[in-house]
Amino acid sequence: MNNKPCVASLTVKTTHVLPSDTNGHGTLFGGQLMAHIDDVAAISATRHARKLVVTASIDSVDFLYPVKEGDTICLEAIVTWAHKTSMEVFVKAVTENLISGERKVCATAYVTMVAIDENNQPTSVPGVYPESSEEKWLHAEAAERANQRKERRKKSKELARTFGTAFPWNEKSRFGENPSI
């Protein structure tokens, strides 16, 4: 399996922000933006691996600037790092007021995608190499971010075991006699 340049996975998606996409403040629902991020990251990862992919994690979505009704949102995604079966995808979202031409980066995110085979099992992906200075910058700390994800995932599993599936928690739960927090 030959390594591929980061740019081979570049995916760009632009969409108009409609009233149904917005909250009571007239700005894009955060969940709607996250759906766009997940979608463009999946396309980018699939383009890189040429296999089906699933979302393993989204590190963080940092909302930097509101996206207003009537604006467009342009998402750019690129695979910045690949491990055995997983890929880190960097996503940048830019909002644009089509009348004034004002553009602002409104969000960034790192998404981890895992390639799967016909049995829905993880399968190997090609490596990736950076070429531009921006790609090299993103690639340089990717292994460290992957280790942080691994540690965070361990903590998430511990949290899931601790809280389990039962709800509401009983009065004598790990919160003490009073379950109100």
Stronger pLDDT, 13 or 163, i.e. the higher one: 13
**Could you tell me the residue ranges of all domains in the chain?**
4-163
CB atoms within 10 A of CB 15: 14
pLDDT beyond 90 at 40: yes
pLDDT (tens digit, 9 = 90+) per residue, 52-88?
999 999 988 889 999 999 999 999 999 999 999 999 9
Containing 79, the helix (H) or strand (E) segment is strand 72-82
- Per-residue pLDDT tens digits for 114-165: 999 999 999 999 999 999 999 999 999 999 999 999 999 999 999 888 888 8
- pLDDT-derived band at 177, boundaries 50, 70, 90: low
Rounded to whole angstroms, the Cα distance separating 127 from 134 reads 18
CA distances from 81 to 39, 171, 181 (A): 18, 46, 40
Type of residue at 144 = E
Could you please state the CATH topology (level 3) that the domain comprising 4-163 is classified under.
Answer: Thiol Ester Dehydrase; Chain A (3.10.129)
Question: What is this structure's pTM?
Answer: 0.87
| Per-residue model confidence (pLDDT) at position 168 | 63
**pLDDT-derived band at 172, boundaries 50, 70, 90:** low
Rounded-to-integer distance, Cα 128 and Cα 87, Å: 9
Given a contact cutoff of 8 angstroms between Cβ atoms, the answer to whether 126 and 49 are in contact is yes
